[in-house]
Structure 1
Amino acid sequence: MKKLLIILGSIVALVVALLILIPIIFKDDIQKAVDDAIAKNINATVYYDRGGFSLSLIKSFPNFSLAIDDFGIVGKAPFEEDTLLSVASFGFEIDLMSVINGGQIKVNSILLDQPEITVLVLENGKANYDIAVASEEVAEEDTTASTAAFSVAIKSWEIRNANLIYYDESMKFYTTILGLNHSGTGDFTQDIFDLTTQTTVDGLTVNMDGVEYLSNKTLTADLTLNMDLPHAKYTFKENKIALNDFGIGFDGYVAMPTEDIDMDLNFSGSDISIKSILSLIPGVYQEYLAGVETSGSISFSGTAKGTYNENRLPDVTAKLDVDNGKIKYAEYPIPIEKLTIRTALNVPGENMDNMTFNMPTFSMLLDGETVSANLAFSNLQNYTWDFGLHGNLDLEKLLKVVPVEGMNLKGLMTADLSTSGNMKLIEEERYAEIPAAGSLSLTGFEVVSEDLPQGFSIKKTSMTFTPKQVALKEFDAMLGKSDIQLDGVVSNFIGFALSENETLVGKLNLRSKSFDLDEWMTEETAEVDTTAAPLEVIRVPTNIDFAFMSAINTIHYDGMEIKDLDGLITVKEGIARLNNIDFNLLDGAFVMNGTYNSVVEEPAFDFGFDISDLSIPKAYETFNTVQKLAPVAKNVTGDFSALLQLSGNLGADMMPIYEHLYGTGVIQIDDAALKGDKLMKTISAVSKFSGEEVTVKDVKLQVEIKEGRIYVDPFDVSMKGQKATIYGSNGIDGSLDYKISTVVKTGKVGSAVNAALATYTGGAKVIDETMLVKLKVSGTYEDPKVGIASAESAGGQSPAASVKAAAKAEIDKQLKAAEDKAKAELDKQKKAAEAKAKAELAKKQAELEKEAEEQAKKAAEEAKKKAKDALKKMF
């Protein structure tokens, strides 16, 4: 007996030893097999704690357990800095006998502890989860044999405290799932069994195209499915899904015996209330709902029945009804009462274009005032609608019952609107056949928000509706400190609201006593010199056709007062046109005509200016163009008038591209003086016969602007009583290239100057009483260079005649060439701008139409594919 016990003890010891030693002996081989499998199948960097790689037959005897700690996957370029997956611990338990016997391997459990998953999809569709190594196609018979010889059955699985981030740049889609816990059980070794799963999410956020549809919501899902694997039929049994407080239950089945998916599902709200619906509003759940009292009955139900395949979707219906609803906020005594809503959605799977949505009833009572509305919508191919809004609504009371963070709103709205029709009537401009009538008015309207701290208020406005137009009878408002009055008509408003390709047309009269633009400048902008503050290109909408007859008494901008502005401003096809816009500025009078074209990449302008009695020094202080092209104006006193035509392009900062600026015109100066600047001091120092002051009387300057320079035709000035003729050019870089011609009486200038003049006459001294002298001015305005270019006898002519005769011979050819070139260049630029604008507009419209058509097709195809894939993955 003792010997038998020794033998049995030895056997047990040997078995225990083997249980301990076998995992140790084979650990390196198994670890190498894991490494080889990773290298062979995964195109990414995989890491794990090699010391945390453990095998055991003791821990789960008689089963085999494997655990890997600190496991992770990092992608390769362009995702080499992004971790796709990191897991604190990954482990599973395998039925040892299933491995020994061969055939189907039974996995008793799988555990993922604290996984962190980040999924990224670039704009070009490349995804960081695409890490599988591409393999050659396997023959169909080999695949079948392999599948038959090797299969895995999982009984249970668990995910603990997972976080998932999904960001898809191609779809502008972003979601986060935080605090995910999920577990499931099901005996996949059986043909028919129940699959049970439990899921909770602490924070769910969904953002699409910058709109946050769900914000940090909780999710719970408890599902029990009966799995009929031989018939591929999955039947919902006990189940509940809840998003925040909004719960939904399912019953019915989904079957996939063939490529088609058959379903017969019913869903309905489970213990839902008005408060549970409000809980879905982003960003207000915790703060807002704590103080809300609600009551009333709600019913929510729907179905999804039919077949899903490449040719059709199942038929979907949904209904939401609210009866005798009430919403009361704790801090405001007046509730919304008698809230009644009836809605029904029907989406036929065979042709989704026949979808219908109907809300025949929406009504509520707010402090004794009833508001009601109805809406019906159908036919995606020929949008058909029926809409009505009736009653009085106090906006201040509404916002106290349903507050919006950061906004104060008040005003009484009175509406009596109704309209119905379809898009075909609009496309064919059969407006008279579209029933649309009613009126809308606002009184005492005020709104102040974080985005509009200056505030906007409407003392009174009223408008009436017909099928063809909206008639704005009155509109008396304050935008911050600025008053605005409008009246007129807006047409094609229905087509504009329902189609991206329709144009909103309006004819409005705009009046204001005082409009303060400075109020809308940010504090930072106001502190910076506005001549250097960066701006953004202003794009005029291409889908509006508006004409504004404007009359504004005073516009305040950057310390300036623009007075008595009136004229016609039209906006059409992305081009703004100014028609006889006249105003007073800096004690001068302006009349402007021209266009601003924002369709082209670099906005183009072509403006004509009629300026009267404008202060020259004030013009220099105010306008960038004067500072760039006429820096001498800084030290000139007096006024000027002008007729100018300027055209060119604007950069991204809305400043002219001076190298492309072109202009011609006439500047009239009645009486002006230049003194005390570096240029005059340099001329006086060189010539001795001119003073440090230039006076100008009754002069008309012919000017031309091109290629970053301003060219000035000859004009007369007085220099210390001596007449002189000036002509030439200067550039935006400050460079000077001018000639100054004058007749000098040699007896009055002194021996030093006579000696200098003699070098140009070939004689030892000057013989004639008068000499024609030409000075050349170069360098820059800040560092001018002046020298005597030539000197010759005046030939007994009068000073004025001598100067004019000398200048005329030099500039006659330049004038004719400049005139011809100016006309040709102007015509060329105008034609090019018009052609380019039309081409850009036509191209943009064609692209929009094509994109809309392609997106519609793509959306339908992707919806079908995603629905099918999602269902297959689920089951």
Structure 2
Amino acid sequence: MKKPLKITLITLGSLLGLVIIVVAIASWLVLTPARLTSIVRNQAPNFITCDFDIEQAELTIVKTFPEVGLKINDVLLINPMEDAPSDTLAYIDECVVTVDIKKFLNENLVLIDECYLDGGCVNLFIDEHGMTNLDIFPPSEPDTVEDTSEFTYGIDLANLKLNDVNLNYTDLSQNMIADINGFDLSAKAKMKGDALTGNVVASLNNIIYKQTSENSAMNVNLDALKFKGDVNMIGEKIKADVEASSSFLNYEGDGQYAELSNLNFKYNGDINDLDVVKGNLELGLDDMSFVMDNETYVNKADVKLITPLDATLSTMNVKLGASQLAFNNIFIDMIGEVAMPNDDILVDLDIKTNTLIVEELIELIPASMREELLDGIDVRGELYLAANVEGTYNENSMPAVNAEIKYNKGMISMPEMLPYPVTNFSTNIKADVDLNNKTDIYVNHLNANMSNSSLSLSGTIKDVMDKMYCNIKLNAVADLNELQSFIPEDIVAEGKIKLDATASVNNHQITNMDLMNAKVNGNMQWDNMNIVYYDTINVTADRLDVSLTLPNPVSEDLMNGLAAVEIKGTNLDARVADMIVAGLKDYNVNAQVSNILDDNVPMSVYADYSFSRIDASMDDMNFFANKPYGSVAMFMKENSNDATYIATYSGDSLSFKMGEEMSFDTENIEFNVSANYDDDQEDLLLQWNPHAGIKLNKAVFTMTDIPTPVYIPSIDFQYDSTGIEIQNSRVLLGDSDFELKGRFMDVDEFIRKEALLKGKLDFTSNYTDVNYIMEMFSGMGDTTVVAEEVVELDTVQKEDNPFIVPLGIDVTLNTKIDKAIVGEMNLHDIGGGLTVKDGILVLNEMGFTSDAATMELTAMYKSPRKNHLYVGFALHLIEIDIAEMIDLIPELDTLVPMLSSFAGRAEFHIAAETYLKSNYDPKMSTLRGATAIHGKDLVILDNETYRKLGRILRFKDKEHNKIDKLDVEITAFRNEVDVYPTLITVDKYQAVVGGRHNLNMTFDYRLGMSNPWLFRKLGIVISGDMDDMKFKLKRKSILDLGNPSGSEEDVHLIQETLRLKNLIYESIK
């Protein structure tokens, strides 16, 4: 038998024995109250050791028979102790116990018909040493023999009542005081064997509990506590239906205060083996408040709990049926199981809420925290939560949580941070939280609006606490006009941006910037774009579209690319202050970039572009391009700053203007450029080492230094480090047109100033104005000559502008020109070689014809200084009119004065060299040359003189003034001109003429007659000048005329020509 039950039965049996003894004594003595009171007083010391007093004791056998009762009035127990609040241990106004003797004797039933206690108080006290005033019972002798007998009587407690009982408990060892006032009890119970049934109704007016320590104090007040219940017990199986309530409960201590106005508790169920509790539990707390450190955490909240309970106390296992916990308007439905075997907590619990009003939830947050966290913030909406919690909680483990969160009709106002409230906020999020393994989050949707802006998000985040695999889809609309507060104050951004993006990334990729293995796709549309930076830079566009892909899809142009970006739009305009204005129309740029985040991979960039139009201007410069398209690329080299750059361009019309100084226009242009940047080089071109191919069609180039536009119908050339290959070029320059084909070599060496720029070109032209071209290219190349001539500027006439041969180049032109103008001459059918080599101009066997003659010229021209020019040439003219020859070479009239006296056509050879002045006048002191003239049927211009001579010398033809034949060879050296013996035939006369004259027109000539025979020994010496001519007759034999020219080669001319050609060859080799 259980010990509590055994004690109860012994107590009841002792009470019954006491009643029987009293009855027996009463039967033996006179049954008077006085006598009975005296007996009780005498027997009481056998049971208690403290002082006592009993006012009266009497039997109720007469009026209650066969029920026998004992009534005791005014019982007082006194046990004084030091520091005790009272000497009185207990006081009872009236106590009545009635027993049915008949039932006891006949039916083995202890029937306590009535057990009544009316009024009384109990003062329990424990001192600082743990001694108690309840220690009033004498020591009992230990049982030597264990009582194994069974209690065979039944017990029936018909009516147990306690009325207005007060209890005071003081424990100085714990600094504890408790007062219970107005305790009432009404109970019924029956017991037979292991079976027990009962009913209890109890109440008390007030409970006061106080406890203090060195650092704290605690007060508890409980008012109007009521309890009722029915119990049915068989063995260790109990069925209970109990209720408890209180009208007021408060707690105060250590800066904390709690209270509630009503407490209600109900339980209906089973308790088995005092271990398993299974039933329905209800708990209600009304107007609950909690204050700590003057901060209200709960303010008049109503809490209710309804749960079907199945609990095993030994294993701390609690199973909840469909339960509900309510906190004001918050309802939490629960079902599941919680267990605490050993030190672990096992949980398998489903939880869900009703629709929660966020404003009401915020009101539950303590005011100070609410002001700190939500100062100036207004949050509204409807919230729903559902979760399943399953797993083990201990030091090494956490249960897994599968939760769902729904938020609807949300609004967030943050005026200090957001210019407009966030409205229509809604989301549905599911989270699988497993801190022992991994946590996954599923965002079914997240939507929000802010005025004209909006956000929509969905996706998953798996393994949140570790790998963090993210698959996210984002759609957003941003009205920048309303979001200026988020933009740096130096930037003004306007327009509306629409963003659509998807991303598949993880924590490793984000932390280590491993974007090559991430997947990001995004599209941005920016309408009515307007950006102003520092009030200086302004960019506008009706619409800008940008798309981004990470990593770059497989591309033939750029392998292992990090990103692909496409930018397109209808128009884009930019302005930098009042300096630069630019605009794009219908632009499309597709760019790719390598993995720039990997230091071990050289950076590469590739882009394709196309535009319908480009306009740009800066100051007085303007640029325009129509329908350009092409590609650009950059490839960095490993472990250096060197890089390869590539660009291609194709387009229709293109225009560039620089004020009135320069302009360039073309109807079509194509070029491709590549460059290998070498950081070790200093010269710009050598640093970049460009390779280029350019094609132009119908281009026009103007420049203030060029009097007329340069028209380029077409040009096609290639440039690289080995040279420039001109595959085709047609140019209209003034009245000239020409086509160039060929190649320039040693370009790099020329740039490094290690060699001349070499070139071999074919020059073809229908018409060439040589004067104009020489004026254009005069002085090109090395400009040091200009500095050398500064001191001579005062001595040179301003209108003199001689051709200065370019320096630093070695270019040969194979010419084929239909027509050309050189000086005053109109030439045609020009062909031959033209070489310009480092300040030297050479014409090599240049053949051409004119109205005057057919010519061939080999010449060399040098311009070391502007007033010190050099020319050396060998000129062969066939059938040239003598007058035109003198016009061509005016100096001939000085060198050969008699030429101006003849008319007709002759063959003319000249080889000469001299230095020239800036106006091309020869410096006669430097003249050296030779010439040969061969003519027939020449006309003497002095016709009257000829007629007179004809009559005197009896010419056959006295009317026609002709010289039948003229062969003359002349050399010049400085100021002296030598005319070698020359045979002249006139009519039937022949004479040999030779001699010398000076440039001051003084002369010394000899003439010897050869025919007719009669005069063959006659000679004449002519000297003096043109104003004072002297004639002397001498014998021909003494004139030393030798053999005349005409029958032999022009020896002196040939020698001079060979010398000049050798000089030219040495100059240009």
TM-score normalised according to structure 1 size: 0.43
